[in-house]
Chains A and B, each alone.
Chain A
Amino acid sequence: MKPNDDRKYVIALIFVLIPLIFVVKLFYMQVVDDKWKDRAAQISENRILTYPSRGIVYDRNNVKIISNEIYYDIHVIPKMAIGIDSVALVNLLGITMADYTAKMNIARAFSMRKPSEIVRQIPPNEFSLIAPELYKYPGFFEVARTLRVYPKKIAAHALGYMNEANLDDIKKDGYYQPGDYIGRTGIEKMYEKQLRGKRGVKYYLQDAMGVSTGKYEDGKYDTLAIQGKNITLTIDAELQAYGEKLMQNKLGSIVAIEPSTGEILAMISAPTYDPNLLVGRHLGNNYGKLQEDTLLPLQNRSMNSAYMPGSIFKTVMALIALQEGVVTENASFPCNKELAGCHDHPMAQNISDGVKFSCNPYFIQLTRRIIQQRKDRSIFKDAAIGIDLWAKYVRSFGIGVDLKIDYPTNVHGNVPDAAYYNEHLKFRWAFSTVQSIAIGQGEVLITPLQMANLAAAIANRGYFVAPHFIKKIEGEKIPEIYTKKQKTMVDAAYFEPVIDGMWRVVHEPGGTAQRARVDSLHVCGKTGTVENFKKISGRVYQLTDHSNFMAFAPRNNPQIAISVFIENAGFGGTWAAPIASLLIEKYINGEVLDTAKENYILNANLIPDASDIIRK
């Protein structure tokens, strides 16, 4: 053997060792580590999302109240935008030169070959002027997208609005991506999942410049966009529009419910606004203006405001007293004005009279019977037992509780019980301390929705169905809660005297709501006039009373239950009652014949000014 012959083994070893290292490294890269596969997908694949159109919303008579409209964004591919007459283009698109320059710089920095947005959401009528000129500007092209449109311009509060999903939304629900729109309030929010549909994805291969070169795996992983579901609401667009017209120049709300089903026929909060204002590129601007308005047009007063109920609450007191057996329908109490102020009226001989005259002392004495039933020797303990029982009754009418309406709200009013008074009163209390609750003043708070629901419960003689907007969802059942009857704690048998009283309120001379009469219809109603205090720079002022009215009609087999609440308008019978009657007439008869009453309401401006403050 020659001296260096064994060196061939060293070289051979090197020739094996290096490839071995390569094999190990390749095994790691290609089989073990997924990092490079992700990286490769990121480099070579492009996901293009296809957007479904959002579900259409119909009213109960299949009138479109929310639909979609095509808007146009103008995009640019900077590399293709050569020889552009930018002055002419800026004029055509209706933007400023500074804006154009800034957008173009952003687009160029993003990518020379990929499109970027220059102008957003040009409405179709404006785009029809731009489209025939656009060919003069190579690299610029339109991208169509749909936005919400509200053809009837009604029910802004109930329908809600949409805006871009924020970081919180994206974190909460992985479906959303920056730039997506999401239902922010009302029906748009409540039925977001049904309305939005499902995005589709198409995977493309892209080259090093980001230009698509073909479908990835022949579209094996592509999904189609699924259109949003159409839904039908319980709202009657015509009634809603009429109610909004009547509520012009007034603050307040109207809620109308079909008693047998709990379907909301109309929900008006005044002042309202055109829902089309909160769509598209002007949303931010318009929203700001609405938000600054001192009359709070964005506030949904029909559900997100709670007021003292006033005299309409007396009906509930009468029903509880009858059920508890502490009075009979022929109970008579003197109009003792030392107990509470009252107007002059003949003495109430029975429950029906009490309701008709809305006698304050009558109901205080009646409610005392409910609360102080002498179940305990201590008058204080007795009151506590009584008020808890009373509160249970009141809540069974849907007052002060969550009605589970399909509308995002967390205002549910208030029904005080023993625990509430123990917490809020610094001294021992009995019925006489809190007696104003009997006439709907004091600690009881109720939303207009709950008032309408109360009217429905009385109309139904003892039950209601949770009020709701949803009538039909394409391919889906509506939640069970909206078909289930919820019984009040008062039996049907006890309702007749109260309903009789409510009929007489409207139909008999001396009733508080004769303006609510509709010829040929038996309307039952109850007025309320709600005292109203406001703290202004540290001093408490009494403001003009709120005018309140609840009603249903016809008396037998009722088709509509309604509550009308007008802020700072005075007596319930003066304003709220005629508005309710107009809506009842409109809904049941299909037209309003009493044009005098209609004009009286349309011409009224009840928006309070400084003179409405009564110095106390």
Chain B
Amino acid sequence: MRGPENKIFAHVDWTFLALYFILVILGISTIYSAVYDPDHPSLFDLDTEHGKQIMWLGISLFLGTIIFFLESNFIRKYAYWIYGTTMLLLVAVLFTSPIHGARSWFGFGSLGIQPSEFAKIGVALALAKFIDQNNAVKEGKSANKNQGLATLWGVIPFIAKNRETALIIGIPCALVLLQPDAGTFIVFTSFLLVLYREGYAGNILLFLVVALIIATITLLVADTNFMLLFTKIKLSGKAGILIVLGVLTSIFLLVIRNFVLKRNRKGAYRALIGSVLVAVALVYTVEGAYTNILRSHQKERIDLLLGKIDDPDGKGYNINRAKAAIGSGGFLGKGYQAATLANSSQKHVPMQSTDFIFCTWSEERGFVGSFVFIVLYTFMLLKMIVIGERQRSVFTRVYAYCVASIFFYHFMINIGMAIGLAPVIGIPLPFFSYGGSSMMSFSVLFFILLKLDSERKVVLQ
């Protein structure tokens, strides 16, 4: 009785698909409101961003349909090929002429294609295939034994042992830095979450948190001075951090000497010394990167986030307008098409249809809207984990986590930036922001996952 079509759609997760459509449609309606122009009132007018976005949605759905009629083995089989193609595109884009100081776009008339968006698909597939074939991430030898920051000692052996994994992620990282595109680079670090899930040393997350704290403190005091207590010696902020680290080290030394069993002491000392060295290296790296590598506008964004500079009408213009738009939405919002800031006729919030689309949504829908949106998004992210965890195929599971991690990073940085919890990094909000490349790449990521998941029962006959 069952025809082939039935079989294809038999195990599709309709809830997941519904989430896709809800988000995409809300996104288009928000773009429509944000850029509404009385001269082009039609929803489908291709001169408008909402019209183009609908076109991109159509293309995305077309791609999604193709994916559904592909053999899922095809996706698995050609994962490396897809990866390789996207990497070639990333190389090729470096030879275009720069737009706004970065070589990120292939332009076709008024349309542009951003290969780094598609590279995410390639990396996700390649990573899934590689881990599937090798069945696990190989552990660094000392990883489980060491504590805290000393975990980082494991990084080098890890990379040595998982050279291929490191390359799969490292190549696109290096290529987008050459564009340069810091935002996409940060998104590529999301794959660390996948590695974590697949067995890489668990303390990586703890390490990241501690590293973030140290980095923040370092940046806060980077160019400050203070007087050493009871003296007239003037010290730099960096020296202060080092002194604090020294004091902490001494305390831990005493703790270890008095409270740790003798036979464990040697390991503990090693871990402590390792941690201290890593911490000191981190302080120097962060400070060096801040002063030497970051460009001035990036420094400004970090300083703004940390509150070191306050310039609401100058350097902090974007973020100040974005926050004012969101904050003025109130509990219920100003109503659809009633935004007075995040609206293209007002132009107070820059890039309000792309990176700052959340401002329009939030100003018009208020806290209720913000809450609904975040719940929807969180639900989708958790759904991705559930999908990943119900797979018998390692490939699909890894791929699901890749998709989840990418979406999560975009969500975290995009919303965090709009409400002033993250520095201004120009990356889109998946399914919501205007943009053809992102619309298509996120849709393809999504539809591959939907396709793979629909075959979860047949994959390992």
Contacts and interface: CB of A to CB of B under 8 A. Distances in A.
Interface stretch (B376-384, B437-445, B447-455): B376-384
B328 A40 contact: yes
Nearest to A216: B340
B389 interface: yes
Interface majority SS on B: helix, strand, loop or mixed? helix
Nearest to B350: A208
Interface in B389-448: 389, 401, 404, 408, 411-412, 415-416, 419-421
Contacts of B388: 8
Interface in A14-72: 14-16, 18-19, 21-23, 25-27, 29-31, 33, 35-37, 39-41, 43-45
B279 to A, nearest CB: 23
Contact of A7 (B202, B331, B374, B419): B202
B140 interface: no
Interface stretch (B156-164, B211-219, B318-326): B318-326
A216 B420 CA distance: 28
Given A11-B193, A36-B323, A40-B340, A4 B370 contact: no
B347 A25 contact: no
A354 B347 CA distance: 90
B378 A15 contact: yes
Nearest to B388: A8
A98 interface: no
B205 interface: yes
Nearest to B366: A30
B331 A31 contact: yes
A40 B348 CA distance: 10
Given A25-B419, A207-B348, A41 B382 contact: no
A22 B330 CA distance: 15
Contact of B385 (A11, A29, A205): A11
Interface string B301-342: 000000000001000000011011111111100000000110
Nearest to B197: A7
Contacts of B341: 40, 43-44
B367 interface: yes
B344 to A, nearest CB: 10
A1 to B, nearest CB: 12
Given A30-B362, A209-B347, A12 B324 contact: no
A37 B333 CA distance: 11
A11 B197 contact: yes
A8 B400 CA distance: 12
A596 interface: no
A22 B346 contact: no
A109 interface: no
A31 B331 CA distance: 5
B196 interface: yes
A208 B343 CA distance: 10
Interface in A407-445: none
A36 B324 contact: yes
B367 A11 contact: no
B199 interface: yes
B323 A30 contact: no
B371 interface: yes
Contact of B348 (A3, A27, A43): A43
Nearest to A209: B347
A22 B419 contact: yes
Given A16-B378, A29-B419, A40 B325 contact: yes
Contacts, number: 125
23 contacts: A3-B199, A11-B193, A11-B197, A14-B205, A15-B408, A16-B378, A18-B412, A19-B411, A22-B416, A23-B370, A23-B371, A25-B419, A26-B326, A27-B371, A31-B331, A37-B328, A39-B320, A39-B327, A40-B328, A40-B340, A43-B348, A45-B340, A205-B340
Contacts of A37: 327-328, 330
B377 A36 contact: no
Contact of A30 (B196, B326, B346): B326
A336 interface: no
Contacts of A41: 328
Interface of B: 193, 196-199, 202, 205, 312, 320-321, 323-331, 340-341, 345-348, 362, 366-367, 370-371, 374-375, 377-378, 381-382, 385, 388-389, 401, 404, 408, 411-412, 415-416, 419-421
Nearest 7 A-B pairs (CB), nearest first?
A36-B327, A40-B328, A30-B367, A208-B347, A40-B324, A44-B340, A39-B324
A37 B329 CA distance: 8
Nearest to B408: A15
A208 B348 contact: yes
Given A29-B419, A43-B321, 7 more contacts: A22-B370, A22-B374, A36-B323, A36-B324, A37-B330, A39-B327, A209-B347
A10 interface: yes
Contacts of A36: 323-324, 326-328
Interface of A: 3-4, 7-8, 10-12, 14-16, 18-19, 21-23, 25-27, 29-31, 33, 35-37, 39-41, 43-45, 205-209, 213, 216
B71 to A, nearest CB: 28
Interface majority SS on A: helix, strand, loop or mixed? helix
Given A22-B415, A25-B421, A30 B197 contact: no
Contacts of B415: 22
Contacts of B329: 30
- The listed residue with most A CB atoms (<10 A of its CB), out of B324, B347, B375, is B324
A30 B382 contact: no
A15 B381 contact: yes
A176 to B, nearest CB: 28
A42 to B, nearest CB: 8
Given A40-B324, A43-B341, A30 B330 contact: yes
A41 B415 CA distance: 23
A195 to B, nearest CB: 37
A452 to B, nearest CB: 62
B361 to A, nearest CB: 11
Nearest to A213: B345
Nearest to B313: A43
A4 B362 contact: no
Contacts of A206: 346
B75 to A, nearest CB: 23
Contacts of A29: 323, 326-327, 419
Contacts of B411: 19
- The listed residue with most A CB atoms (<10 A of its CB), out of B327, B331, B345, B347, is B327
Contacts of B205: 10, 14
Contacts of A23: 370-371, 374
A16 B382 CA distance: 8
Contacts of A44: 340-341, 346, 348
A4 B137 CA distance: 11
A3 B202 CA distance: 12
A23 B377 CA distance: 12
A33 B340 CA distance: 19
Nearest to A5: B389
Contacts of A209: 347
A207 B347 CA distance: 6
Nearest to A35: B327
A19 B377 contact: yes
